[in-house]
Each structure stands twice: as structure tokens, then as C-alpha cells.
């Protein structure tokens, strides 16, 4: 039996957080073990799923948990959020992001070899938007920077981890 105060606390934490909360961070805040925390989160998740009159759900995204709206209420949320700034990416930035997602860590030269064009502007845009980050430098002439995706990128794409990416077809 899961205590009501634990369920209430988890619900409140997920409600107020701007980012997905990891299992271990919730457990630490509540001062309970991770197994009990996961049991409580899954209990809440099932409650939201079985109650079709609710407009929210618990989602697993970017390695954590968050409250999100159900698809059935999207048209209402869009009306409320019509002035919210979304991250829009050009075709070039999307291509660059896709390459980094599948090939990370990857230096700019390899990205440009795949795309066949200069990717400096796309990389700058993706860094400014917080979707990619510099992971370091490789031990090669010129010590080029290598790039990888961020947690914000997973959130942007609605993925829990890179393992959720569709598999690439080989030709």
C-alpha cells in the first residue's frame, strides 16, 4: 500500500518542475528508496491512464518523469499557448541535428562530409537553442570540437533516451 502523502508529494513535485525529474532525485527528495518511489510513480501513472476524464498524464521523457497533457486536450492548450515561442529549426539545422543524434560524438568536419555543405551556422543555432553541446576535443590535427545532444534535445523530440530513436535503414 502506497501512502497518500507520498503520492501527493510526487504529484506536486512533477507539477512544479520545469524539467523531467529522475527517479533518484524524487527518491532523495522524499527520503524513500527508489523501488518504493518507482512503485508510487507507476501507481499514479496507471491512475491517470485509467481515468479518461483527466487531461494530464505522467510521461517518461529524457531519463525522467514529468506531468504532461494528454493529446485529447491539445487543441485547448494550443489556444492558451498561441503566444508561446517554440523552437523552430531550418531544414539545415534539422539535418545537422539528425546527424549528431545518430553519430555523436562527432566533429564538425564529419557532419559537413555527410551533409556536403558548411554546417557552422546550423551548429551555432543548435548550440544557442540548447539542443547540442560541445563535448570536448579529439586528439587530431587542429584538435577539433566534438558535438553531442543535450537533455533539452531529448525533451524537444519527446524521447526518453537515444535508444528511442528510430533505427536507420541501411542500403
135-169 pLDDT per residue, tens: 999 998 999 999 999 999 998 888 999 999 998 87
Its pTM surpasses 0.75 = no
Quickly state the pLDDT bin for 64 (edges 50, 70, 90).
very high
Q: Which ranges in 62-169 belong to alpha helices (H)?
A: 74-80, 91-103, 108-115, 120-128, 151-157
pLDDT given for residue 77 in this prediction:
81
The residue that leads in pLDDT, 46 or 79, is 46
Q: Domain of 109: which CATH number?
A: 1.10.10.10
Does position 110 have pLDDT exceeding 80, yes or no? yes
- Domain identity same for 47 and 99: no
Q: Quick one: average pLDDT of 19-38? A: 95
Mean of all residue pLDDT scores within the chain: 91
Is 66 in the same domain as 100?
A: no
pLDDT of residue 87: 75
Residue 149: inside a domain, yes or no?
yes
Contacts of residue 38, defined as CB under 8 A and 6 or more positions apart, other chains included, come to: 23
31 and 65 part of one domain: yes
Q: Is 84 a residue whose pLDDT tops 60?
A: no
101 part of a folded domain: yes
* Structural domain count, the chain: 2
Distances (CA, A) of 94 to 9, 85, 88, 104, 131: 38, 18, 9, 15, 11
The pLDDT assigned to 18 comes to: 87
Q: Which domain holds residue 110?
A: 91-164
Confidence of residue 83 (pLDDT cuts 50, 70, 90): low
**Judgement on whether residues 27 and 57 belong to the same structural domain of the protein:** yes
For residue 98, count CB atoms less than 10 angstroms from its CB and return exposed for 0-12, middle for 13-18, buried for 19 or more.
middle
* Residue 169 counted as domain residue: no
Q: Which of 152, 126, 128, 150 is nearest to 19 (CA)?
A: 152
Give the model's pLDDT for residue 79. Answer: 78
Amino acid at each position: 500500500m502506497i501512502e497518500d502523502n507520498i503520492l501527493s508529494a510526487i504529484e506536486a513535485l512533477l507539477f512544479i518542475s520545469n524539467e523531467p525529474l529522475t527517479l533518484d532525485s524524487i527518491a532523495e527528495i522524499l527520503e524513500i528508496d527508489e523501488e518504493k518511489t518507482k512503485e508510487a510513480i507507476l501507481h499514479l501513472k496507471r491512475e491517470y491512464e485509467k481515468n479518461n476524464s483527466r487531461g494530464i498524464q505522467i510521461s517518461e521523457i529524457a531519463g525522467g518523469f514529468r506531468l504532461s497533457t494528454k493529446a485529447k486536450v491539445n487543441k485547448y492548450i494550443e489556444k492558451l499557448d498561441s503566444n508561446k515561442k517554440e523552437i523552430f529549426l531550418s531544414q539545415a539545422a534539422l539535418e545537422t541535428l539528425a546527424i549528431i543524434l545518430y553519430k555523436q560524438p562527432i566533429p564538425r568536419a564529419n557532419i559537413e562530409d555527410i551533409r556536403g555543405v558548411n554546417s557552422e551556422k546550423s551548429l551555432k543555432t543548435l548550440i544557442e537553442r540548447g539542443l547540442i553541446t560541445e563535448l570536448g576535443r579529439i586528439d587530431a590535427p587542429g584538435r577539433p570540437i566534438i558535438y553531442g545532444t543535450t537533455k533539452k534535445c531529448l525533451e524537444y523530440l519527446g524521447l526518453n533516451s537515444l535508444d528511442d530513436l528510430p533505427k536507420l535503414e541501411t542500403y
